[in-house]
Structure 1
Amino acid sequence: MSKKKTKEPLPEPHSLNMPHTGVESHAHLDLDAFAEDLPQVLERARAAGVRHMGNVFLGPQAYARNRALFEQTPDVFFLLGIHPGEADTCDETAVEAMRHAFLHDPRLRAVGEIGLDYYWDDHPRDMQQRVFIMQLALAREVQKPVVIHSRDSNEDVLRILEQEGFAGYPMLWHCFGADASLAQRIVDNGWHISIPGPVSYPKNDALREALHVIPQERLLLETDCPYLTPMPYRGRRNEPAYLVFTAQTVAEQLGMAPQALWTLCGSNAARFFGLDA
């Protein structure tokens, strides 16, 4: 009589023994997905070696409503921007609210995520482009780095950034998922690139190959949680603790020890966002 094979338990993030030097550069911890267990999520991240976490507020209303969630968590820093999928909410009032926030809240470290998203047809492309340019101007005014969202819109994003004179400006291409040719164009403009969990997916060879054209000093890691969960937790809600599995894959591709890659990317993020090293 044959016995059923029992599934091996998934590795715990803390089992990778990462030092407390990691930076989660892009998370959406104020979304409803974390409403029931946010303190536990943050504690698991710390136990896994995450020193800083960047929470992305999707617009000034989300920032005003949810900032208080993190009053007792100084290891969480903030990003604020109007996503292209909400371009119709960006008017002078919204921009003024963002300007005021950046001038008065030192935890706000970057304008983002902003950019273009042509995957959905919810908002006309010309509207998205106007809103993108408005927020780029705001970033320059308040002297903050920019975090880019680009989905099915890479050519227009690159064109606008170059036309607006942002080559060489502190810029992070969030959730990079393309190939080496796009990575090279981003690198040639002097910008940083953040790698998400899908780098660990078996069929994502193009993204893994792109890692080799990114200068190590411009490489960051992110979860974009609750989305894009890396292996071996793919299919579950993502959270900052799972960043260690993305680091493990990237380190393997680059021939580095995971702990060294973890610290390298953490240092890059700390420098980019102006965090304590």
Structure 2
Amino acid sequence: MLGIIGGSGLYDVEGLKIIEEVSVSTPFGDPSDKYILAEYKGKKAVFLPRHGKGHKYPPHLINYRANIWGFRKLGVNKILSISAVGGINPLLKPGDFVISDQFIDFTKSRVSTFYEGILSKEDDTDFQDEVKQFLKDKRVVHIDVTNPFCPHMRSLIKDICEEKGYRHHTKGCYVATEGPRLETSAEIKMLSLIGGDIVGMTLVPEIVLARELNIHFASVNIVTNLAAGISQHNLTSEEVIDMMKEKTEDIKHLILEFIDKLPQQLNCSCGEVLSKAAI
């Protein structure tokens, strides 16, 4: 089943049937909000507003572990992440879609693993898998993130963007910063020199935690503004919100097509991440 992470309102899509909203408890505390269980053309999907409805949580205070674990409890094995980002690469324009293929982590205070050795929480799901066994045995786990995003899901997003005629980029290195402040122009210059294409505050540890649970993960990023020092004016939250509103219909259509065309089984190795990862 597919999980979708994004801002509130993404579930308000014409043709999408809302089944129910459910609260999920986790060993890591409460998720950002209730999960919205929905259906489209006979396929089920689960939505979660990353920041909570009404944008209650700043990026550094989101309970990422609870959010991803809640998806696991609901049977989600694929996640599509929708994010607003700043553009670093000069080829990017506001309104562009970027399908990330790499990330660089500059976050500072976020827990980015479920596997903490002797401090690990117990698995509260009914699943009998590597995750449950590793947590039960208090194992330390080092996952491979050479290619962190699901190639099959990324390819499908690319095909949909091409079919819809959306301006998009099939690769992009997402630089994750701590927030909630925006970056300085000097920081953006540094990030461009090390290969960053876009900058945001939420991809990490979302993708890392999903990968630790053998969950396929892909990210669609909407460039809402040019980053500090590249933009000719001071940055505001207002321009981010305005661009996301402008792209709302495109995002919704992309999500519906993705739900419809996503196969049950994916031709990739994402589900094998935990193999030989535990010590």
TM-score normalized by the length of structure 2: 0.31
Which one has a larger percent helix, Structure 1 or Structure 2? 1
Name whichever structure is richer in strand by fraction. 2
Higher relative contact order (CA 8 A, sep 6+): 2
Q: What is the TM-score of this pair, normalised by structure 1?
A: 0.31
